[in-house]
Amino acid sequence: MFHYIVRRMLTIFPLLLGVITIALFLMHLIPGDPAEALAPPEAPYSAIEKLRHELGLDRPLYVQYITYLSRVVHGDLGTSIVRKGPVLNEIGSRFPATVQLAVSGMLVAVTIGIPAGIVAALKRNSLVDHISMIFSWIGTAMPAFLLGLLLMLVFGVRLKWLPLFGRGGIRHLILPAITLGTYSTAVIARMLRASIVEIMSKDYITTARAKGLSSTIVVFKHILKNALIPTVTVVGLQLGYMLGGAVVTETIFAWPGVGRYAVLALFARDIPVIQGVVILMATIFTLTNLAVDVSYGFLDPRITYD
C-alpha cells in the first residue's frame, strides 16, 4: 500500500501543473481589466498603466506563467490585488471556517443519509421506502440557494429561532450545515439503497441466510460492509466539494469561508486569489480521492494495491 500511495502522490504534481496552466489562461479570458477595476473612476490612463505595470499585467502571458509557476513551487501564491496581503495567508485564515462548515454538512449527510438508505433498502417498496426516495429526489433537485432562502425565511425570519448570517456559535452553523448537507444526504441515501438492493440478490447472501445466520449479522457483516464501498466514494467526493468551498451556501449565509472569498475575488478581478483557490480545490479533491481509494482496502481485504 505504501508504494501505491507514493505513486498516487507523484501524480498530484502533473495534475496541479495542468490546473495552474488552465486557471492562468482562463483568468485572462475573463472580460475586464483588473487595473481598471482597482483604479479610481477618475484615474487617468497613465495611472492605470502604472498600476498595470506594478501588477505585472503588462508582461507577456508566458512570462506571467513562468513567474507564477516559480512562485508556486516555493509556496508563494502571490499577493492579493485588493487586500494587498499574501494569498496563502488570506486563504489560510478563511479555510478553518470552510472546514467547520464542510464537516458539519457532511455530519448531517451521513447521520441522515446512511440510516435512510439502509431502511429504504431493507423495507423495499414499502411506504417508508417511497417516502425516503421522494425526499431524496427533492434533495437532489432543489438548488442550494433556494433551500437556504427557505430555511432563512422559516427559521430566521418567521420563527426567529436561528441567526441568518455570519459565523458564531452552534446556532449560526445549523442552517448553513443543513443547506450544504441536504444534497449529499439525498445522494448518499440513494447510492446506499441501490448498493444494498443489488447485494441482497447475490448468492452469498442467500447462502448466509440458509446457514441460519440472524438478520442483524447478515445485514451488518455481509450486506452493509460491501455496500459501503461505492457509498464511501460518494462521501469522499461530496466532502471534497464541500472543503473546496461551498460557494453558494457560504455566499447566502455570509459565511466567511473560502467559497465566499472566491466569489468576492471574482467580482473584484483579483486574479491571484482566484488562482490560489483553484489550486486549493484541485489539491483537496486529489487528496480526498486518494484517501477514498486507500479506505477500500480496510472495507474489503480482498482489494489489493499493486
Q: Which helix (H) or strand (E) holds 285?
A: helix 271-299
The answer to whether 282 and 15 are in contact (CB under 8 A) is yes
- Cα–Cα dist 175/168, whole Å: 12
Set out the domains of the chain in order of their start, with CATH numbers: 2-73 (no CATH), 94-268 (1.10.3720.10)
Asked if residues 191 and 117 have their Cβ atoms less than 8 Å apart, the reply is yes
Using an 8 Å Cβ cutoff, are 15 and 9 in contact? no
**Dihedral (C-alpha) 165, 167, 173, 175: value to the nearest 10 degrees?**
10
- Look up residue 60 and give its DSSP letter: -
Contact 299, 229 (CB under 8 A): yes
pTM: 0.81
Q: What CA–CA distance (Å, rounded) separates 94 from 259?
A: 9
Query: What does each of the 306 residues of the chain score in pLDDT, given as a tens digit?
Result: 667 677 777 777 888 788 888 877 777 776 666 677 667 777 777 777 777 777 777 777 778 788 888 888 888 888 887 787 888 888 888 889 988 999 999 999 999 998 898 888 888 888 888 888 888 888 888 888 889 899 999 998 898 888 888 887 888 899 999 999 998 899 899 888 888 888 887 777 777 777 777 777 777 777 777 777 788 888 888 888 787 667 888 888 988 888 888 888 888 778 788 888 888 888 888 888 777 777 766 666 666 655
CA distances to 75, 97, 127, 276 from 185, in Å: 36, 21, 19, 29
Q: b/e map of 28-45 (b: 16 or more CB within 10 Å)?
A: eeeeeebbeebbeeeeee
CA angle (26 as vertex; 25, 30 as ends), nearest 5 = 120
Q: What SS3 class is residue 113? A: helix
How far is the C-alpha of 243 from the C-alpha of 285, rounded, in Å? 9
Q: What is the dihedral of CA 85, 86, 88, 94, to 10 degrees?
A: -10
